[in-house]
Amino acid sequence: MKHNLPHGNNYGSINTNMIGFNAAVVTNHWMASSIGRDILMKGGNAFDAACAISFMLGVVEPQMSGIGGDGFIMMYDSKKDKVNVINATGPAPEFSYKVGDKIPIKGISSASVPGLVSGVLKMHKLKGSLSLQECLAPAIDAASNGVALSQDQSTSLKSDSKAENFQSSLKIWGDKKKGLKNFGDRVINKDLAETLKLISIEGEDVFYRGKIADKIVKISNENDGLFSINDFNKFESEIQDPISTSYRGYDVYEAPPNSSGITLLQQLNIIENFSQKDLSPFSKSAMHLMVEAKRLAFYDRERYLADPKFFDVPVDLMLDKNYAKELSNKININGPRISNKELEINYKPDRVGDTTYFCVVDKDGNSVSQLQSIQTQWGSGMVIDGTGILMNNRMSYWHLDKNHINYLIPGKRVRHTMNPVMVFKSNGSENKLCLVNGTPGADTQVQTNMQVLSSIIDHNFLVGEAVSMPRWTHYQNLTESTIPHSTSEFISLESRFGDEIVKNIEKMGHKINIVGPWEGSGSEGMISISESGLIGAAVDPRRDGQALVW
């Protein structure tokens, strides 16, 4: 497909393919990217920068993440040549058995235990080099003095936040007379600034075993919420080993369950059984094969993927290459698609998410790949008065059917769609980090990651080209994470694919829905490192992100 974008050699990139030799930062907001660069410039490492970025995003991109939410942090320590994951996802609250037969989408009862603060501070304590006060100072300053509301934030504030229902939220993002704020308005959150100051001085304890925990639980009790003080006092993020698979000579690392990272790895194992020519970008065979791989992997996700503390997730089986070969044999490269009957979900539904991603590589080769989220845009919509903390609505990921593996149990961690990625390439006697990437987008994440990884590994795309290429997303009934878990089944295609591929995919039995040329799901961020040490950085043009490399 001939491209008409201003940069690149393959499909092309809407942005300059930015390169450098020192370090790179990619986030979903330009101010957060700048802060990450500043931290590195003053001598901090990737882990310091990630700490600063994480807290900053909660101020400048509050609709996606913040300290009222959770996340997964993948860390590569170049000196130790070691990858670890911090699971910063909180469990269902102690009193969540009270939800009955319906989980609210908004309000304090939609919130699970926020784990992000524990995870980020654990990373900083283990691997940071600057003080916590230095890392949090930019976020404190931004919250205190205010930031401008972006156009995307203004639109989603009015459509998704429900902030007008909560006085504590309205005093930050609007008022009773004028309504919700508009594009370019200043947003000041002095309560959040004070909360961040406390965290910078007292650390994790003040959030989980001090004043902040007490305030959250008090307001939860006053509003029929589900939290107990034990939910906070007993919580601690968890350091885990990553899971991985090989794909055409590359080692792809992911977060383990309760992350859906295993679903991405399973998809890669399936498509590896087809030729690189069959996976040529923008071809009918590539889309068909990837969609079918996604459907097969999501079928297994519904059967097997839950909190491993409550269920023995068969990781070895799901990542077995022979098993992937068996699954690939179900796919007819020329169509028709696998019948729904063959992939029928064996449970009845009990009755629709958003995130942010960023990555950092420093001058020493240390790297962080991090996803953090408050679930749907603007989370619960409710700010904890006196703290400035916008709470998540992660409870909406649970199933209420006892037959489902992701059934709600107090103390259990819900299955997450977040999946940070790192890719390594063998270079003689050692593996070298060559790619760091990820994206928000709930159940679309592993689909977007599969598309960009194939474009880079199979077809030598630059990262700028990978994030700019036309995107598809498959929606599969009864596999949606957010309640009510059901949806129409179709492939969403950006219009840049063109009429011919639409007709060919429809002939294979897939239903198509065309969206605007840049309205596909996700917001992929990527940093590449070549064998010569050249660093490339790219951010998805579909959102407010910024990539910096020098």
Enzyme catalytic residues: 355
Residue type, 437: N
C-alpha–C-alpha distance, residues 365 and 432, integer Å: 10
C-alpha–C-alpha distance, residues 201 and 187, integer Å: 25
Q: In what order do the strands lie in the sheet with 367-375?
A: 238-240, 82-88, 70-77, 367-375, 354-361, 24-27, 546-549
Q: DSSP states of 440-501 as a string?
A: --GGGHHHHHHHHHHHHHTT---HHHHHHS--EEEE-TT--SSTT-----EEEEEGGG-HHH
Residue type, 9: N
Backbone angles phi, psi at 26, to 5 degrees: -135, 125
How many secondary structure helices (H) and strands (E) does the chain include?
17, 23
b/e per residue 135-158 (b: at least 16 CB within 10 A): bbbbbbebbbeebebbebbbebbb
Cα distances (Å, whole numbers) of residue 43 to 132, 181, 212, 508: 14, 38, 31, 55
- Sole residue written with tokens 């994480």: 54
Return the closest-CA partner of residue 525 out of 440, 451, 434, 418: 440
Residue type, 147: V
3-state secondary structure of 353: coil
C-alpha–C-alpha distance, residues 127 and 535, integer Å: 22
C-alpha–C-alpha distance, residues 327 and 186, integer Å: 52
